[in-house]
């Protein structure tokens, strides 16, 4: 657990290029997660959310070329040797994957899954590992009878709770949650989200929550980063971004979100497709789909600029001033 004032995660100028692409799949990502803070990373499929979160564990595709730095609790993950990286993955940082059934061996008992990594790395004795597993199962609302069960003997919601307990076994400073509620029903989703909030407060862990659900991001997070085509389009305090978006992409995502209140009708859609990774992109990544785009948007990529009087709210848009004063109900 991070007991200092340094961020749990501090990403600076991260660029990742893959074979066969004409431009980086992640292009100059700057992102921080403070100790005990929840930060949401939102955007449509293919925007680079999962790759950004996985870079914190250096879980990168084959042939990936990286630039920049990814500091996890003060250590640059991109430069660690194999032994130190293994230690970081089993202690300093941990990930909750989207589908728990795909991440847990169905032929092994849950108790073995929970204790294996800390026993193999010799950070805990077998007795201490079992006691820690029972403690965390109780923290996520399960009891020690779960230790003897196989994954197929418990529900999806219970198994996701087991995944959360497993992620906390090494007392991590950083918890990465990659769409952890997508495969769950609405009731179980709400329970898991509430559980993550309680665990963050109890253990002081920094949480990076990857999601495509804007309402969920607004409810759970302190700050939000909106991603599009491998770049950060907008970042800042959660409620400020969703109430007063300063990037046309953020505004378009909010307009396409279903609402229970208000008049019924067709949902707004974002016309067009994200840019092809095989093509150069000198200007704004969203220009081809943006109703505010002008010639400068095609020629020059915008730098992230702060809102007047709100330095924490930044948007990478040449025309963010045209969205100033707009409001969206959240």
In whole angstroms, give the CA distance from residue 238 to residue 221. Answer: 6
- C-alpha separations of 267 from 254, 257, 264 in Å: 10, 7, 9
- C-alpha separations of 324 from 55, 241, 249, 328 in Å: 33, 11, 14, 12
Structural domain span for residue 193: 7-100+172-258+266-315
Q: Is residue 132 part of a domain?
A: no
Residue pLDDT, tens place only, 53-97:
999 999 999 999 999 999 999 999 999 999 999 889 988 999 998
Under the banding of pLDDT at 50, 70 and 90, the label for residue 328 is very low
Task: Tell me which of 17-21, 30-34, 118-122, 311-315 is least confident.
Answer: 118-122
Under the banding of pLDDT at 50, 70 and 90, the label for residue 322 is confident
Average pLDDT over residues 229-250: 94
- Beta sheet of 93-96, edge-to-edge order: 93-96, 174-178, 206-211, 38-42, 223-228, 231-237, 310-315, 305-307
What is the DSSP track for 267-285?
PP---S-PPPTTS---S-T
In whole angstroms, give the CA distance from residue 213 to residue 191. Answer: 16
pLDDT higher than threshold 60 for residue 1: no
- Of residues 274 and 181, more confidence is placed in 274
Q: Is residue 280 part of a domain?
A: yes
pLDDT higher than threshold 50 for residue 329: no
Q: Is residue 131 part of a domain?
A: no
Q: What is the predicted pLDDT for the residue at 97?
A: 84
Q: Is residue 160 part of a domain?
A: no
Q: Is residue 252 part of a domain?
A: yes
Q: What is the predicted pLDDT for the residue at 54?
A: 96
Q: What is the CA radius of gyration of the chain?
A: 21
Q: Is residue 149 part of a domain?
A: no
Helix (H) or strand (E) holding 158: helix 156-167
Report the mean per-residue pLDDT for the chain: 89
What is the number of domains present in the chain? 1
The model scores a pTM over 0.75: yes
Q: What is the predicted pLDDT for the residue at 324?
A: 65
What is the DSSP track for 13-55?
EEEEE-TT-SS-SEEEEEEEE-TT-EEEEE-STTSSHHHHHHH
Residue pLDDT, tens place only, 182-211:
767 777 778 878 888 887 888 889 999 999
* For the ranges 130-139, 203-212, 222-231, the one whose mean pLDDT is highest: 222-231
Helix (H) or strand (E) holding 85: helix 82-87
Q: Is residue 30 part of a domain?
A: yes
Q: Is residue 277 part of a domain?
A: yes
CATH code of the domain in which 37 resides: 3.40.50.300
SS (H, E, C) 254-269: HHCCCCCCCCCCCCCC
- Report the residue count for the chain: 330
Average pLDDT over residues 136-149: 92
pLDDT higher than threshold 50 for residue 169: yes
């Amino acid at each position: 657990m991070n007991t200092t004032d340094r961020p749990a995660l501090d990403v600076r100028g991260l660029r990742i290029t893959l074979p066969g692409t004409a431009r980086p799949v992640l292009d100059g990502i700057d992102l921080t997660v403070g100790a005990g803070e929840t930060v949401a990373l939102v955007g449509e499929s293919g925007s680079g959310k999962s790759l950004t979160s996985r870079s914190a564990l250096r879980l990168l595709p084959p042939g990936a070329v990286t630039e920049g730095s990814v500091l996890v609790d003060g250590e640059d993950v991109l430069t660690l040797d194999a032994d130190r990286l293994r230690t970081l993955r089993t202690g300093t940082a941990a990930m909750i994957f989207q589908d728990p059934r795909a991440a847990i061996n169905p032929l092994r008992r849950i108790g073995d899954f929970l204790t294996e990594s800390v026993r193999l790395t010799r950070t805990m004795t077998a007795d201490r590992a079992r006691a820690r597993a029972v403690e965390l199962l109780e923290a996520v609302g399960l009891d020690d009878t779960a230790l003897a069960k196989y994954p197929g003997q418990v529900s999806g919601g219970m198994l996701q709770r087991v995944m959360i307990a497993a992620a906390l076994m090494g007392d991590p400073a950083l918890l990465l949650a990659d769409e952890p509620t997508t495969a769950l029903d609405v009731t179980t989703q709400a329970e898991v989200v509430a559980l993550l909030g309680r665990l963050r407060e109890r253990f002081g862990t920094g949480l990076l929550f990857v999601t495509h659900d804007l309402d969920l991001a607004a409810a759970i997070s302190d700050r939000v980063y909106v991603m599009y085509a491998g770049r950060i389009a907008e970042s800042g305090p959660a409620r400020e971004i969703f109430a007063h978006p300063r990037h046309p992409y953020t505004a378009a995502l909010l307009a396409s979100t279903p609402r229970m209140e208000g008049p019924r009708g067709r949902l707004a859609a974002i016309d067009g497709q994200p840019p092809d990774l095989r093509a150069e992109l000198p200007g704004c990544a969203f220009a081809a789909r943006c109703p505010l785009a002008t010639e400068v948007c095609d020629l020059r990529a915008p730098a992230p600029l702060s809102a007047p009087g709100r330095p924490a709210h930044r948007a990478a848009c040449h025309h963010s001033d045209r969205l100033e004063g707009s409001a969206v109900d959240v």
